[in-house]
Amino acid sequence: MTSLTPKGHASDTRAARLRKLLLSPRTTILMEAHNGLSAKLAEEAGFEALWGSGLSISAALGVRDNNEASWTQVLEVLEFMSDATELPILLDGDTGYGNFNNVRRLVRKLEQRSVAGVCLEDKLFPKTNSFISGEKQALAEVDEFCGKLRAAKDTQLDPDFVVVARTEAFIAGWGLEEALVRATAYAQSGADVILVHSKRKDSKEIMAFMESWNQRVPVVIVPTKYPSEPLASLEKAGVSNFIFANHSLRTVITALQRNLRTLRETRDLMSIERDIVPVSEVFRVQNVQELQSSEERYLPQSQHDASSAVILAASKGDFGDLVKDRPKAMLNFNGKPILSWHTDAFRRSGIRRIAAVRGYCKEAVDLGDIHYFDNHDYADTGEVASLYAAREFLRGDVVIAYGDIIFDDFILRALLAADHPIAVAVDSAWQLRGRADDKRDLVVTTGTEDPLGQRPCQLEAVGSSVDAARATGEWIGLLRLRADQTASLVSLLERIATDMPERLRKWDLPALLQHMVDQGTQISVVHSYGHWYDLDDQKGLLAASSQVAR
């Protein structure tokens, strides 16, 4: 946030920060950046200010440092850099892209983009990089250049905007005296900082300049050609500001050349996979997270957009050889993994936040862009332990599903639409399914089945121990909680984990539901009549596959 000083101008603008950094005796390093990404990474690395290098920006654009990129093209890059970071940016403004009038317009446009300052050099447009035949480069007339500096200072609206005057006297072979005359004239014309540039392989010219410079205004240097000179010795000579002018660009070129060569030779993505950041790091740098949370806030939400789904897919299943390299949830069912039937069904119902809890052969559970949680102890624990593994995901309205069922969309829709804090989907045609093994989660309800959903019908008992003679239906393996009930469930799971760890390990979901019922929680029942399949074994898989459309 920007605060206002009593005089009425902002005291912590980027320009104010840059001014403070450059004018203070403390050492400041301006790190080169040439686009939004390198600006952001420099900020993350801890640098306090950026150098919008003409050399690097033009190289990144694929052109030469000879004003081949127009000033508005440079400005566009600067705008991306400025948007990507909070750091103050000093633009390498070359010669100002013309005369005093072009400089005025440049300063206006930079301020509009929150660029903190500009560096102008005393050469002629179009300029050439200082390290290319520097001695052949003509210098601007001192008076003409001083006029540019005065024009810049007169134009800036923010009194903190920084104008750096750069003398190329050493570069052009004019020597110390000319450098001092020019630096003095530029300081008198209002330059806030003097950049004195040298292309020698040692710091002799800079040291000589510093010895004679009266420190009227601070100095900034670009030690590209004398990188082995310790900053400390230059600091001792009175230099407090350093521009690391092209080191991000050169890092990028080094890495690209190496990896591209390797890829070309090996034609194998794995040959560089370990040397490069994962795509998730790209997303982090781009702050994808922020967009996702803003979407939740600003995009129109379909009825169930705010809902989440958790699929319990940790167990291996009794499928013999079929599951030697994958859990049953990843078995192919009519053309796609069972788990995909779930994720597709959830997405069709508007649920986009989906998680799967993995256990057995977890590497095989990969459906792309969903959340994954792991129950490492899957072999010795039950569904409640799996649910507990995903507890941090449990917020808002949540659907919890077994990973080995296939159900028609309308069952899910009825469950989502039910006007009850907690609801389970129950099949009242359970007796017609022709299976009476002990794996069925039979239920007893209070109240009777009500197709129109007008009579309350609550869960009374659930689980494989329910006597078939008393049963009124079979739980399908779908449970839906509204947000406050989700929060209560998480607290309950935490309590069980602390007070009854054995139960956390052993309980299946019916045991948890029964516990909730016994504690007085009302769990409503939404009935359906068939139209779901329990893929518990190969027989179930085969029977279901002939019933469900591909």
| 3-state SS class at 398 | strand
Q: Specify the pairing of strand 117-121 against strand 162-167.
A: parallel
Q: How far apart are CA 195 and CA 182, in angstroms?
A: 11
| 3-state SS class at 289 | helix
Q: Which is nearer to ligand SPV, 93 or 327 (CB)?
A: 93
Q: Is 377 a catalytic residue?
A: no
CA angle, 191 then 194 then 199, to 5°: 145
Name residues whose C-beta falls within 8 Å of residue 524's C-beta, 6 or more positions apart in sequence.
Answer: 418, 420, 421, 422, 423, 424, 456, 457, 458, 459
Find the part of the chain contacting ligand SPV (CB under 6 A) among 53-61, 73-81, 255-263, 377-385: 53-61
Tell me the residue number closest to Mg ion, measured at CB: 54
Q: Which is nearer to ligand SPV, 168 or 404 (CB)?
A: 168
Question: Mask of contacts with ligand SPV, 124-153, x by CB under 6 A?
Answer: -----xx-----------------------
- Strand runs labelled E in 127-233: 162-167, 193-196, 219-221
Q: Cβ 191 to ligand SPV, closest distance in Å? A: 16
> H-type helices in 267-331, by residue range?
270-273, 279-286, 288-298
Q: Cβ 166 to Mg ion, closest distance in Å? A: 9
Rounded to 10 degrees, the C-alpha dihedral 262/265/268/273 comes to: 0
Q: Cβ 110 to ligand SPV, closest distance in Å? A: 16
Q: Which of 92, 122, 168, 536 binds Mg ion (CB under 5 A)?
A: 92
Check residue 93 for interaction with Mg ion (CB under 5 A).
no
Check residue 427 for interaction with Mg ion (CB under 5 A).
no
Check residue 55 for interaction with ligand SPV (CB under 6 A).
yes
Q: Cβ 127 to ligand SPV, closest distance in Å? A: 9
Check residue 224 for interaction with ligand SPV (CB under 6 A).
yes
For residue 223, whether the previous peptide bond is cis, meaning omega lies within 30 degrees of 0, is no
Find the part of the chain contacting Mg ion (CB under 5 A) among 19-27, 52-60, 196-204, 403-411: 52-60
Q: Which of 15, 49, 52, 54 binds Mg ion (CB under 5 A)?
A: 54
Q: Cβ 64 to ligand SPV, closest distance in Å? A: 11
- Residues β-bridged to residue 374: 358
Check residue 246 for interaction with ligand SPV (CB under 6 A).
yes
End-to-end Cα, the chain, rounded Å: 56
Of ligand SPV, Mg ion, none, which one does residue 192 interact with (CB within 5 to 8 Å by kind)? Answer: none
Burial class of 211 by CB neighbour count within 10 A (0 to 12, 13 to 18, 19+): exposed
Check residue 122 for interaction with Mg ion (CB under 5 A).
no
Check residue 445 for interaction with ligand SPV (CB under 6 A).
no
3-state per-residue secondary structure call for 447-478: CCCCCCCCCCCEEEEEECCCCCCCCCEEEEEE
Catalytically active residues are 65
Binding residues for ligand SPV, per CB under 6 A? 53-56, 65, 92, 129-130, 222, 224, 245-246
Binding residues for Mg ion, per CB under 5 A? 54, 92
